[in-house]
Chains A and B, each alone.
Chain A
Amino acid sequence: MTEAVEGRPHAHEHINYNFVAPDMSIPEIYDACFEPVGKSGWKSNIVIGVSLLLIGWAFFKWLEQNFVGFGKTGLHLPVFWGYYIITFVFWIGVAHAGALISALLRLGGAEWKGVVTRVAEVITLFTLPAAGSFPLVHLGRFEVFYYMLPYPNSRLLWPNFKSMLMWDVFAISTYLTGSVLFLYVTMIPDLGIARPRMKGWMRTLYTLASWGWRGTAEEWKRVKEAAALYSVIILPVVISVHTIVSWDFAMEVVPAWHSEVFGPLFFVGALYSGVAAVVTMLTILYWTYKPYQRLITSVHYDMLGRIWLVLGLAWAYLFVNDFMPAYYSHEPEKMDYLWYNAFGTYAPGWWFLVVGNFVCPLFCLASKGFRRSRLPMFVLSIIVNICMYLERVVIFLPGQEIYDHLNGAVTHYSPSFTEISIVVGSFGWVIGGLCVFCRIFPILPFWEVAETRSRQIEREIAGVKVNYFQSGE
């Protein structure tokens, strides 16, 4: 779309990249958004079937671990936090996509948010339970979970608030409640609108879940107010959740983890991987469902790419900052940890992380052409998520392995088959869950896309030109 912009030199050469909603009527948008709902196909059946197998196998291995004992894992002193905790942090990180992207875009009034918000929230919906289950798996004896519930126990103390695990419980349960309700309340209009067209049990589901939504002006006022309130409340919760998760480590006795930037580093890293997950999901949706191809435009990739680039730069700064003060102050523990990472057992992963998580995105995402290309963005999103998993590995494991290094002991740890099974099972849960969700509920929010479209029609009629991202161009 090329338009002349008044008051600018070379106005005729200037390309206006403002977001333009697809030229579709409201019923067409409805049809596109609800295309996969209520349908099944052999591809998704296979995905769901494989996911169920993975979940079943993981469940079996988890039961086995409970009966046989924690020796089924590869954990041993001093490496007591292994792949369970790594995967926990990884999923928490991916889950941060939902609330942050959705809340920020809503509060900022971004026009292009329509396609992205629910995708992000649904990713949270499935990754957060996956994350929350890992501390329980890591308990070994999961039945002692009740120690975290407030009740007077033999120590005459209610839950032990000195424990970082306790803070996790508060933060994750708040975040899970908030993000589920955020997703649900903003989905009520779609459920109500689609209710008359649904068949069978899905009509019952939609009828009950939509609470008699009729789309009156008063209802719209309240749903938008509720979305704004959720956004305002959830943004600080997002920050608190991952900061608390980082304190799980920073406040531990392991010297390599004693870092004051862990809070922001984890938080920014989480958002970084979260945006990558949204890009992955959007691209898969684009390729899977043909009607979505009119809704998911390159502008969405461009805008997500900008957020991604900023987060990547922030992450890189904080990652370097983790070592820089230690380097200047010659802190031996931290420097040993850095050398062990960069030139020890974990060197290949560490350098891959540096390249894949910092160098690649920096140069790729700086280019508008790259940000607007679908396949490269998809590949980059996969690379970044692999790298973010690696980041957790190289932060957590080496620090513990060299815990006894002053005694000349470096204890290696590798995950057992049980651990790998349960970790892979969590991937099955997330992928299968997303697949099932797409078949039952509209993953692209009809009303938000329609709202954007109707606003643009309104502006076209009124002849008013609104430039949304003009200042950045």
Chain B
Amino acid sequence: MRVAAEFEHFEDALAAHRLLIDENLDAQDIEIRSPYPLPEAPIPPHREAPYNMRFIVRVMWACAVICGWSFLAYTQLDWNLRTDGHPIVSVPTNCLIMYEIGMITGILTTTFLFLWETRMFRKLVPPLEEDLPVANGYCVLVIDGRSADRAHTLLQNRGARSVVTYGLVILLGLMATGCAGNGMIIPPGTWPYNMREQVVNKPGEGIPPWTDLNAPVGEVAAPDTSLVMHAHAEAAPAPFEHLTPGNPNNTIADALKGLRELDPAAPDYQQKLNDFRTQMPAWLQIKALVMSSNDIGKPAFLTQGKDPNDTVDQAYRKGLDSLLKTQTFPETQAPGAVDRGKVLFENNCAFCHGSNGKGGGPVGEVTAVPPPHIGDGNIYHQPQYTDGYFYLYIMVGKNNMPPFVDKLSPQEIHDIIGYLRQLQGPR
């Protein structure tokens, strides 16, 4: 577990740092990062590493001078013309070359020690996500190890957010060695701005666990009739043995597993696919599709099932059409929706779209394509931007925006849309 708190001014970061030290947190767990060197004296105790640079450079310099002198003396004494025991090159000139040897040794030692001593307390390629605040000119306090939990509590009111890094470290290692380029693991265009790995804070939950593919989907599988394409879903037979229609304990992993095990050569392939698409609730379908869309188990109907005669495809498209044409969901006007939506928006959307939905989010500022100003009523009051439009793209993501289908329940998406409509103002 690792907590990163970012501060616009380094004085605030130092104050928070001091607070942590005053609260008896282990200084070796605390790292303070900044886009420019902070003043030396006022930095409270932090993670340190042995610091022998200056001493070693001096010693190496002296050794090199002695070695340079010996080398020159040897080469001259080795010259077997008669010099009556005198050096063939004058002493000052010898000193000159000896001097250059000493200097170049000092330079190389400095470089080596710089790389060596800094390497001791950092991973070779840190996750980009962590660098974003520093790149934005913010100072960051990073606390990991056993102090992280406590630090998170202490810093909660000072802008702390939790960052999970280890998965990205592995991915970056693969990227660096060329194993994960070209969309093999990360689809092109989403790197490095994908927040897919970012833990999403939900109100009241503190820091939620890492998105777990094997966690049960929960009760939300049953409702949401606007998206269920066949009313008799429960009555139909199970398309996959891992998946039971209408069962709230179905997991995304189950659906994915079933999709992967489909054999296109098998005689019942088409039948099973149709069953899957007709019997599963649409949101679970989309969830499964999204989760599998970058995967080798990508279902064939996404790529080839475009036949207009295919009634299932028509049904599927009709479902999406009706979703997109839904001007207003009644759930967005439910009591408390806007308040819950505000918190959800702050935690999930504001990083890119800004807290007022008009840009300025810390991540959105650095993306190559700026995120759209979804809080701008002048644009998003146009008829094509229906509630269904927002619903769909919050679920499946758009351009650099990651899908939130696995992170937000339908009710939460409705809440966010309600808050968005409030941001956009009256029509």
Residues of A that sit less than 8 Å from B by CB: 25-27, 29-30, 150, 155-158, 161-162, 167, 170-171, 173-174, 177-178, 181-182, 185, 192-197, 199, 203, 207-208, 211-226, 229-230, 233-234, 236-237, 240, 244, 446-448, 450-451, 454-455, 457-458, 461
**A203–B176 alpha-carbon span in the complex (Å):** 11
B33 within 8 A of A: yes
- B117 and A222 contacting across the interface, CB-CB below 8 Å: yes
Q: Given A167-B97, A458-B39, answer yes or no on A216-B121 (Cβ-Cβ < 8 Å).
A: yes
**What residues on A are CB-neighbors of B135 within 8 Å?**
30, 193-197
**CB pair B134 A215 closer than 8 Å:** yes
Contact of A222 (CB < 8 Å), options: B93, B100, B101, B114: B114
Q: Which residues of B contact A196 (CB under 8 A)?
A: 128, 131-132, 135, 192, 366
In the A-B complex, list the 5 residue pairs whose CB atoms are closest, starting with the nearest.
Answer: A26-B137, A450-B36, A220-B37, A451-B36, A215-B33
Contact with A along B1-31 (1 / 0, CB 8 A): 0000000011100000000000000000001
A227 to B100, CA, bound (A): 19
How long is the Cα–Cα vector from A457 to B8 in the complex, in angstroms?
A: 13
B78 located at the interface, meaning its Cβ lies under 8 Å from any Cβ of chain A in the complex: yes
Assess A216 versus B122: contact at CB under 8 Å? Given A447-B35, A450-B137, A461-B11: yes
Q: Which chain A positions have C-beta within 8 A of B72?
A: 161
Contacts A170-B100, A233-B103 given; 16 further ones with Cβ under 8 A? A25-B137, A30-B35, A156-B80, A161-B94, A167-B93, A178-B104, A181-B108, A196-B131, A214-B126, A216-B33, A218-B46, A218-B49, A218-B118, A222-B114, A226-B53, A447-B37
A158 touching B75, Cβ below 8 Å: yes
- Given A30-B135, A196-B366, A233-B110, A211:B119 Cβ within 8 A: yes
Provide the residues of chain B in CB contact with A197, threshold 8 Å.
135, 366
User: Which residue on chain B has the smallest CB distance to residue A448?
Assistant: B36
Name B's A-contacting residues (CB within 8 A).
Answer: 9-11, 31-40, 43, 46-49, 51, 53-54, 57, 72, 75-76, 78-80, 88-89, 93-94, 96-97, 99-101, 103-104, 106-108, 110-111, 113-115, 117-119, 121-126, 128, 130-132, 134-137, 176, 192, 365-366, 368
Specify which chain B residues have a CB less than 8 angstroms from the CB of A461 in the assembled complex.
11
Please name the residue on chain B nearest to A233 by beta carbon: B106
Q: State which of A178, A195, A215, A226 has its C-beta within 8 Å of the C-beta of B114.
A: A226
B10, B94, B96, B113 interface centre (most CB from chain A within 10 Å): B96
| Chain B residue contacts of A219, Cβ below 8 A | 118, 122
B-side contacts of A199, CB under 8 Å: 368
Chain A residue nearest to B10 in the complex (CB): A454
14 example contacts (A-B, Cβ-Cβ < 8 A) are as follows: A155-B79, A158-B78, A167-B96, A181-B111, A193-B134, A195-B135, A211-B119, A212-B119, A212-B122, A213-B118, A214-B134, A217-B43, A229-B110, A237-B100
The CA-CA distance from A156 to B47 in the complex, in Å, is 55
Quote the shortest CB–CB distance from A227 to chain B (angstroms): 9
* B90 smallest CB distance to A (angstroms): 9
In the complex, A461 Cα to B9 Cα: how many Å? 12
- Chain A residues lying within 8 Å of B113, measured Cβ to Cβ, are 226
Contact A229 B78 (CB under 8 A): no
A225 to chain B, nearest CB (A): 5
By a CB distance below 8 angstroms, the chain A residues around B132 are: 196
* A198, B48: Cα distance in complex, Å: 30
A216 touches B32 (CB 8 A): yes
What A residues does B31 contact at CB under 8 A?
Answer: 214, 216-217
- For A177, list chain B residues within 8 Å (CB): 104, 107-108
Q: How far is the CA of A171 from the CA of B131 in the complex (A)?
A: 40
In the bound complex, do residue A458 and residue B11 qualify as a contact, i.e. CB atoms below 8 Å apart?
yes
Q: Are B48 and A218 in contact (CB under 8 A)?
A: yes
Whether A237 pairs with B93 at a CB distance below 8 angstroms is no
Are B36 and A26 in contact, with the CB atoms below 8 A? Answer: yes
Which residues of A have CB within 8 Å of B125? 207, 212
Contact B78 A223 (CB under 8 A): no
Q: How far is the CB of B98 from chain A (nearest CB, A)?
A: 10
Contact A221 B35 (CB under 8 A): no
In this complex, what residue of A is CB-closest to B114? Answer: A226
- Could you tell me if A222 and B104 are in contact, using CB atoms closer than 8 angstroms? no
Q: How many Å lie between the Cα of A108 and that of B264 in the bound state?
A: 74
Min CB gap B356→A, angstroms: 19
Closest chain A residue to B57, Cβ basis: A229
The residue that A156 contacts in the complex, of B78, B103, B117, with Cβ under 8 A, is B78
Please indicate the chain B residues that have their CB under 8 angstroms from the CB of A174 in the complex: 100, 103-104, 107
- The residue in B34, B40, B57, B134 that gathers the most chain A C-beta atoms within 10 A of its C-beta is B34
- Shortest A203–chain B CB gap in Å is 8
A214 to B128: give the CA distance in the assembly, Å: 10
- Residues of chain A contacted by B101 (CB below 8 angstroms): 170
Residues B107 and A230 in contact, CB atoms below 8 Å apart: yes
Q: Enumerate chain A residues within 8 angstroms of B128, measured Cβ to Cβ.
A: 195-196
Question: Chain A residues near B51 (CB, 8 Å)?
Answer: 221-222
Q: Across the interface, do A225 and B103 meet the contact criterion of CB distance under 8 Å?
A: no
CB nearest neighbor in A for B193: A196
Pick the residue among B47, B76, B97, B108 that contacts A170 (CB under 8 A): B97
**Chain A nearest CB: distance from B166 CB in Å?**
15
Contact with B36, one of A211, A218, A454 (Cβ below 8 angstroms):
A454
B88 & A162 in contact (Cβ 8 Å cutoff): yes
Say yes or no: B107 contacts A233, CB within 8 Å.
Answer: yes
B residues near A234, Cβ cutoff 8 Å: 107
Q: Decide: A215 and B107 in contact? CB cutoff 8 A.
A: no
Residues B48 and A185 in contact, CB atoms below 8 Å apart: no
Q: Please, which residue of chain A has its CB at the minimum distance from the CB of B37?
A: A220
Interface contact A211-B96, CB-CB below 8 Å? no
**How far does the alpha carbon of A211 sit from the alpha carbon of B99 in the complex, in Å?**
31
User: Contact between B53 and A217 (Cβ–Cβ < 8 Å)?
Assistant: no
Q: Which of A192, A214, A223, A461 is most buried by chain B, counting CB atoms within 10 A of its CB?
A: A214
Chain A hits for B111, CB < 8 A: 181, 185, 226
Nearest chain B residue, comparing its CB with the CB of A220: B37
Option from B88, B100, B136 in Cβ contact (under 8 Å) with A240: B100
- Cβ–Cβ contact B124 & A212, under 8 A: yes
CB proximity of B190 to chain A, nearest CB, Å: 13
Residues on B with C-beta less than 8 A from A214 are: 31, 33, 122, 126, 130-131, 134
Residues of A within 8 A of B100 (CB): 170-171, 174, 237, 240
List of A residues within 8 angstroms of B78 by Cβ: 156-158
